[in-house]
Amino acid sequence: MSRRQRPDYIPNKIPNDDTYVRILDTTLRDGEQAAGAAMTCSEKLAVAHQLAKLGVDCMDVGFPATNSKDAFEAVKMIAKEVGNNVDENGFVPVICAIARCVKGDIDAAWEALKEAKRPRVIVFIATSEIHMKYKLNKTPEEVLKLAKESVRYAKSLGFQDIAFGCEDAGRSNKEFLHQIYGEAIKEGATTIIFADTVGYNFPSEVAQYIADMKANIPGVENAIISVHVHNDLGLALANTLAGVQAGARQVELTINGIGERAGNAALEEFVMAVMTRGDDLLGGLHTGIDPKQISETSKMVEEFTGLKIQKTKPIVGGYVFSHASGIHQDGILKNKSTYQIMSPEDIGLDEYSNTSIVLGKHSGRHAFKNRLVQLGYDFDEKTFDELFFRFKEIADKKKGDGN
């Protein structure tokens, strides 16, 4: 699982490496929109520093135009501090903030971000019929006009890196999508975002949307296609992978998959999926993430948001490297690769303290004997058989994950 070199950053292209996927983390904006997940300014700053250590290319850190003064100040503080902290390799993350197609929103984003070395505004507007009719009360023509004017205005303020997103793109008319994305690129958008805002799409649909965007948007060769999906049907990771397989080269993710309703695609899941299967199934796709920072980042976000991680959560859940079945335990004790496709060290954990043989009702003789040896005991066969029988009697009556 070796890491390859991160390409130079150019807003609208990835030079000399068509297999590199940019990671935009939106934990501090979309993730914090999860019910009960509010963080303080100092906590947001700490998370932003950790995201930089993790190696995210871009971080969406908030909505400066919101009524909360803290939201503006947090974005400004992160832009000034994290957005100017160049590491030993010359890397500094892009600091992003979101804005509706409203001049006041874009003004607020510029004021909050302008001190960053690489500021980016994410301008968005809804494009599905249901959103345009019931939420915006606007015609497609009015939405198109707003999108063009907003991207043009963002560029006039000084933004050279502009993302344009279609909210609820996954339920939008494709011809309209192609038109509005094309006009946004013409006005200066460097990234265009396909958003499955309500987690409605299936992987085959996402792949087709991205393929159609590549084939039908005027000027698409001058922009990066990004995918932003939600997990309402449990398909966020699959949809994100489908998007990059079809040609998207930026993905928008959150730590621990937190976010509105059922959450967003989880950064740790996407990164480890690419690291584990990128060469053989994904045409060599890779990211700039340092996976050894995953565990620390996950724990920090869990602590600051108060959103507890399910123990069976992929990659970072407490049970990921635990084994309870006797057959599995026997295999792990003989060779860990029998039942682990990654190791605790890959995500920054210690192998010996985090690969767990959980003794319980499903455990076999091998695991029980191995634990006795660890404790310094060496019994004859008859005594061992008696102890194992008594152990199984007790284990059948106990519940929980303790040994």
The model's confidence at residue 403, banded by pLDDT at 50, 70 and 90, is low
pLDDT for position 147: 98
DSSP string for 188-225: T-SEEEEEETTS---HHHHHHHHHHHHHHSTTGGGSEE
What gap in Å lies between CA 82 and CA 217, rounded to an integer? 34
Average pLDDT score over the chain: 92
The model's confidence at residue 202, banded by pLDDT at 50, 70 and 90, is very high
The model's confidence at residue 1, banded by pLDDT at 50, 70 and 90, is low
The model's confidence at residue 353, banded by pLDDT at 50, 70 and 90, is low
- Percent with pLDDT over 90 in the chain: 77
pLDDT tens, position by position, 222-239: 999 999 999 999 999 999
Single pTM value for the model: 0.91
pLDDT tens, position by position, 92-105: 999 999 999 999 99
- Percent with pLDDT over 70 in the chain: 95
pLDDT tens, position by position, 262-280: 999 999 999 999 999 999 9
Mean pLDDT of 394-401: 66
pLDDT for position 373: 79
For residues 218 and 185, is the Cβ–Cβ distance under 8 A?
Answer: yes
DSSP string for 22-84: EEEE-TTTTGGGSTT----HHHHHHHHHHHHHHT-SEEE---TTSS-HHHHHHHHHHHHHGGG
pLDDT tens, position by position, 158-170: 999 999 999 999 9
More confident residue, 126 or 333: 126
Among 103-112, 127-136, 194-203, 335-344, the least confident range = 335-344
The model's confidence at residue 376, banded by pLDDT at 50, 70 and 90, is confident
Mean pLDDT of 66-76: 90
More confident residue, 319 or 374: 319
Question: Does residue 382 surpass a pLDDT of 70?
Answer: yes
The model's confidence at residue 339, banded by pLDDT at 50, 70 and 90, is confident
